[in-house]
Amino acid sequence: MNKKISIFFVLLLCLACFAACGKRASDSEMANWEKKASLEGEQSIEELYEAAKGEGVLNVYTVSSRVFDVAESFQKQYPGLLVEVTYCRAEEMIEKIKQNHDNKTYDCDLLFITNGDGSITQDLIPNSLAYKYVPYDMKDKLRSGGSDEYLSVLLEVPLLTYNEDYYDEVPIANWWELTEEKWRDKVYITNPTKSMISYTLFSMFIENEDKMLESYESHFGEKYEAIDNEAAGKAFIRMLIENGLNVVNDSDDVANAVAAPGSKSPAVGVLNASKLRLRDQGYPMQVCYELAPFAGVINPANIMIAGGASNINSAKLFIRWILGEEDGNGDGYKPFLQEGAWPSRLDVEGGASRKLENMNVIYTDEKYSSQNRDSFLEFWNKFYN
């Protein structure tokens, strides 16, 4: 073999070894952290609190503003413990977590995030970026569904909202109605390329082709005839776009377009049903609980410990608090026990006027939405620009 070529291959081999050794070192570090974290431990509240007093400020990244309320009550319950809450979109949060891990800064202790696009189960958990911790005395009190790989705090459902001061009754019964001229320029959603609320709903329209075909025929009185082999779910989204679909930045924009205080707007929009809490602030908002082929999709909101978290005892204590402690009655759970949100605990009633089991909703197929996100984005960008 040529001497230069031999040297080249030796260098490649060395680089490969260095890379492998670096990865092994990282794995070893996380293994040591996991052992220290003792995520299967059964520490009492008193033991966790005492240990947490020697830790620093607990850092929580969240996609829900209600976590600020949880942090406030947590600090009152446990004097001396401090919490810093950072609000960000899911994609931004994941990027922050990855940067923290790469830089070994581990600035985040807890993540409050949904898994609609499979980011937790397909990315964060496999790469040691997020870990599940379930308090030992709550394990038999949690609702099944979604995934057993993460810990859910509550179940949220994106539903179609309307202004009850404008409409005397539910304005539609079938999603296909929104593709008609009557609803031109009147439908609002958050951007599905950035928002799990819109993306998971659209993703399930595409996956559930049989249901979309059935609801099409039910509404239009004829069978769906595909053009260029376009699936019914994608045709529905395309027709929405062509009918003047309004794509806005965030949920507050949707809420204000549909039901700003004092307004009588004919608009409708997709929001998490938990936004019904805005009714207390004067928003004349109501939701469509029953639509064909399904009214909405269930998206669990989850709390996970960040890999490498520095304040592990504070994190465990906070998870107990946000789930209402052993009996579910703690103040930390109260921000989530309201109309339009369903607790993940089986022993807590919650504040929703309708039981989830009695609604026409389905669980998000997280594996499907994860595997098909790129193809959806390609499809979306083709028709919305």
Tokens 């938990």: give the residue: 274
Please enumerate, as own/partner, the contacts of 71-74 that have beta carbons within 8 Å and a separation of 24 or more: 73/321, 73/331, 73/332, 73/334, 74/317, 74/318, 74/321, 74/322, 74/332
Give the tens place of pLDDT for each residue, 63-107.
Answer: 999 999 999 999 999 999 999 999 998 889 999 999 998 998 999
Q: Band of the pLDDT at 332, cuts 50, 70, 90? A: very high
- DSSP assignment string, 266-334: --EEEEEGGGGGGGGGT--EEE----BS-SEEEEEEEEEEETT-S-HHHHHHHHHHHTTTTTT-SGGGG
Mean pLDDT of the chain: 91
pLDDT > 90 in the chain, percent: 79
The answer to whether 174 and 273 are in contact (CB under 8 A) is no
Q: Would the pLDDT of 2 be above 60?
A: no
Q: Label residue 27 by pLDDT band (50, 70, 90).
A: confident
pLDDT score at 4: 42
Buried b (16+ CB within 10 A) or exposed e, 9-38: eeeeeeeeeeeeeeeeeeeeebeebeeebe
Residue 18, CA distances (Å) to 11, 13, 21, 29 in order: 11, 9, 5, 16
What's residue 357's pLDDT? Answer: 86
7: pLDDT confidence band, cut at 50, 70 and 90?
very low
Which has more pLDDT, 5 or 231? 231
198-240 pLDDT tens trace:
999 999 999 999 999 999 999 999 999 999 999 999 999 999 9
pLDDT of res. 118: 86
CB 61 within 8 A of CB 90: no
pLDDT at 323: 97
- Does pLDDT of 331 surpass 80? yes
Q: What does the pLDDT look like over 237-295, one tens digit per residue?
A: 999 999 999 999 999 999 999 999 999 999 999 999 999 999 999 999 999 999 999 99
Average pLDDT over residues 335-354: 92
Q: pLDDT tens across 133-188, in order?
A: 999 999 999 987 767 899 999 999 999 999 999 999 999 999 999 999 999 999 99
pLDDT band at 25 (very low <50, low <70, confident <90, very high): very low
Question: Would you state the pLDDT for residue 10?
Answer: 40
Residue 296 predicted with pLDDT over 80: yes
